[in-house]
Chain A
Amino acid sequence: MSTCAQCGHQNAKHYRFCLGCGAELPQLRDEEEAAPKARRRSSLRDAFSSAEPAARPAALISAAPDAVYEEAPAVMGLHLPAALDSALDLALDSALDSALDSALDSARDSALPPLTAEDDLPPPLPAFEVPSEPAPAALAELMGAGGGALDLPFDFHFQDQPSAQESPAQESPAQESPAQESPAPKPPALQPQDDAAPAARAPQRAEEAEETYELSSSSLAAARDARPAAPAVTPAAALSPAPPAPAVSVRAAAQAPRVCKHCFAVVPKGFAFCGGCGTRYDEDLRHEPAHHTPPPLGVPAKTAETQYLRLVHIHPDGSEGEALSLNIKQATLGRDYPWPIFQRDPYLSPKHVTFFFQGQSVYLRDEGGLNGTFVKLKGTAELHSGDLFRAGQQLFRFERIKPGRGAPSTDGTRRLGSPTYQTWGRLAHVVGHGELGRAWMLSDSTLDIGRVRGAITFEQDRFMSGAHCTLSFAEERATLTDKGSTNGTFLRVQGNVPLSQNDLVLLGQQIFRVDLGLV
């Protein structure tokens, strides 16, 4: 901790400029830097566990900001989003110490690679700097400008906890200070998402909350990935691509560390991969995931107006990762396809889905694999008997029930059973290997599904919005409507499905954004 001589603001000790007034800070001496780690960490833990949930972020920051900032870039999220508290309440109460410990440890481990003979100097302390380029426009697009309920694949329930965007998150120094007049360096995650806003000008705008949101979600995801023992890790999080082990670059480290443009973890110079999300940062390759580029497939299209299709991988934290470009007329993708994101997904069939161009449109066709292909619902879709859909982490099967008593048996006897009254459908929760667990009869004209609101609730599913989707029945048609859920409702598709820009497609356990255009 270093106190600014000019304005008295307390800054993390590795900051070169005061977050309060922008004055240059004196660089701290070595002995000050060597403060006992154990004490910092224990105070961090104490602050975290003793504070009221709502006050935790602030308590954490004030107790041991050094530990937070220095030791674990990936744990930065711990002090920032108040929404994290609600998520962690479930997970951390009992396993607080061990979870925090392992999060700190693994975050540090991933940030600090093993020393080698080639690189025997310890990497420089992470000193945050403005990323060399603004966050990708696509990300900004994904984040949108307004309401906070966005296309993130994970739901942190901001919309259900209005306070989450307010008090604790904004009390933390890292939040408010750069939004004020901090001239130069600031925590990278607070980089405005808007391309038009130069990094050095700190915008004081309503979108600040959005930036906070993104920071928190990506940092949270990093923290979650780094915390293997946490009980609340969901299948999707558990299956998210593990960050590859940091590799030491052939070049010696330069002085100023970089910040990952995807997950905002610090990527010290000289490292070829981001420790947080695994994005490649090889200088010569200009951040392109060249080593993952799959070999060309099929016959290249010949027309000049070839459309291209990019499948942009959406990380579990909502950020965008590698993209697969398909410049050919037709491509069948699956676990056989030589792309690591596909190859490591056990829920993907060898030949899972086919994307193809027809006229000016792009279609996908599910290849009838075990898990099928799900497309995010836009508005309302008709449901047919046997349709599967996903809301949050739950998989449902809809069955239409039509009035009538069924066909009699061979001797003309009808099957006795419960009358269906005016029931029009049945909704079953899919468990195990295609078995149906709990099931609900649909007799009212609408039925709501949500985490907390609705006739069917899943209070444990953190990826389900408070009010997520609705099943309706009118004029002999059963429909499914997404109620503006954060993570969306995904419907399993059959046949040829036309795609449009920014459609989200769920293949196996991975979500991809569809990016279309003309070459």
Chain B
Amino acid sequence: MSHLTHCPQCGAGVIPRSHFCLQCGFMLSPPAAPAAPAAPAAVEPPAVDLVLIRSPELKEVRFRVRDRAQIGRVEGNMIFREDPYISPLHATLLYRGGALLIRDEGSFNGVFVRLREPTQLEEGEVFIAGEQMYCVEEYSAGGSFLPEDAEQGVRFFANPKPASAPRRLTQLLEGGGRGLCVPFTDGSLSVGRQGCDLNFPLDRFMSSRHCHVSVSNDKIVLTDMGSRNGTFVQVKGEAPLSVGDFILIGKQLLQVQPHAPHSSQSQVSV
């Protein structure tokens, strides 16, 4: 991801494909350490690293998760100063009962985890495909633009709500607000770069056929259609993580990987 170009040492932005940080001279482009095969996780908790996924030409950043790791823009031990979408203290990785969990610390934008299998969504639950953010909601979710103290006794002229489409797929825009809204007229909608019900030809991170949402009665099911970059669902409170999972926090994509013992940095400020 080209927008992840920050110096791992000082946090300053760097020119893409440059070899050294202009701010502190940190060497940005030594050959990336190959990801080691899974270390035997004999002891509990299993040793994992949190790896920042970014442009391959940039140095790999691994973070050893010992007992817990806190991610934030200001606080915590994994700090992304330059990402304005990350809250001061955003999320915590922790072990509980031998399981690795991620907890949303009441962040403004939430923590997203990549979908492994078709998942049931609740109304209003936010998910991300490509660069786009969506939710499934009822028609009335956006509220009325009419003033609250609207006149009584006067009917408002508008088109009737379609009885067959009580819900819609809504694009949530950067900075707030709703974008594209498409009702579920025949029960399901597909999202992709082309040839789908909702197409985003300008989204470079979107696969041609990316994901699929179906609505039936009270069930909303989100399915990833084998997209390259995956579909992410917002974590409600806490969610278990396992090795290989991808986490999206702000604009940062992180992967849980088995611990690589030769990793030099145990604590980074990214």
Interface size class of A (residues with CB under 8 A): 35 or more
Chain A CB within 8 A of B241 CB = no
Complex CA–CA separation, A421 to B174 (angstroms): 10
B1 to chain A, nearest CB (A): 13
- Check if B159 sits within 8 Å of A429, measured CB to CB: yes
Among A350, A394, A404, A411, the most chain B Cβ lie within 10 Å of the Cβ of: A411
Write out, one digit per residue, whether chain A residues 377-419 have a CB within 8 A of any chain B CB (1) or not (0): 0000000001000000111010001001111110111111111
Point out the residues of chain A lying under 8 angstroms from B139, CB to CB: 431-432, 435, 437
- Check if A435 sits within 8 Å of B144, measured CB to CB: yes
Q: Given that A370-B150, A406-B175, A433-B158 are known contacts, is A438 also in contact with B144, CB under 8 Å in the complex?
A: no
Q: Given that A418-B179, A434-B144, A435-B144 are known contacts, is A370 also in contact with B154, CB under 8 Å in the complex?
A: yes
- Check if A412 sits within 8 Å of B161, measured CB to CB: no
Q: Given that A395-B157, A395-B159 are known contacts, is A411 also in contact with B108, CB under 8 Å in the complex?
A: yes
B131's nearest neighbour on chain A, judged by CB, is A419
Point out the residues of chain B lying under 8 angstroms from A433, CB to CB: 144, 146, 156, 158
Complex CA–CA separation, A509 to B150 (angstroms): 18
Chain A CB within 8 A of B101 CB = no
- Check if B156 sits within 8 Å of A434, measured CB to CB: yes
Dominant secondary structure of chain A at its interface with chain B: loop
- Check if A430 sits within 8 Å of B174, measured CB to CB: no
Stretch at the interface among B10-18, B62-70, B79-87, B256-264: B79-87
Chain A CB within 8 A of B142 CB = yes
- Check if B84 sits within 8 Å of A438, measured CB to CB: no
Stretch at the interface among B24-32, B165-173, B218-226: B165-173
Chain B CB within 8 A of A349 CB = yes
Point out the residues of chain B lying under 8 angstroms from A408, CB to CB: 84
Among A235, A411, A437, A440, the most chain B Cβ lie within 10 Å of the Cβ of: A437
List B188-242 residues whose CB lies under 8 Å from chain A: 202-203
Q: Given that A394-B159, A432-B140, A438-B183 are known contacts, is A411 also in contact with B178, CB under 8 Å in the complex?
A: no
Point out the residues of chain B lying under 8 angstroms from A430, CB to CB: 158-159
Q: Which of B142, B174, B203 contacts A436 (CB under 8 A)?
A: B142
Chain A CB within 8 A of B253 CB = no
A399's nearest neighbour on chain B, judged by CB, is B177
Point out the residues of chain A lying under 8 angstroms from B84, CB to CB: 405, 408, 412-414
Write out, one digit per residue, whether chain B residues 49-88 have a CB within 8 A of any chain A CB (1) or not (0): 0000000000000000000000001000000000011111
Sorted nearest first, the 10 A-B pairs with minimum C-beta distance are A406-B175, A434-B144, A434-B146, A439-B181, A416-B109, A417-B174, A413-B108, A418-B132, A414-B84, A416-B85
B-binding residues in A (CB < 8 A): 235, 335, 346-350, 369-371, 386, 393-395, 397, 401, 404-409, 411-421, 423, 426, 428-441, 508-509
Task: Provide 9 A-B residue pairs closer than 8 Å at the C-beta atoms, listed in order of the A residue.
Answer: A371-B154, A405-B175, A414-B175, A416-B110, A431-B162, A432-B140, A432-B160, A435-B140, A438-B181
Excluding A413-B87, A439-B179, 17 further A-B contacts by CB distance (< 8 Å) are: A346-B154, A349-B151, A350-B151, A369-B151, A370-B146, A370-B156, A371-B155, A415-B85, A417-B133, A417-B173, A417-B175, A418-B173, A431-B159, A432-B158, A438-B168, A508-B157, A509-B157
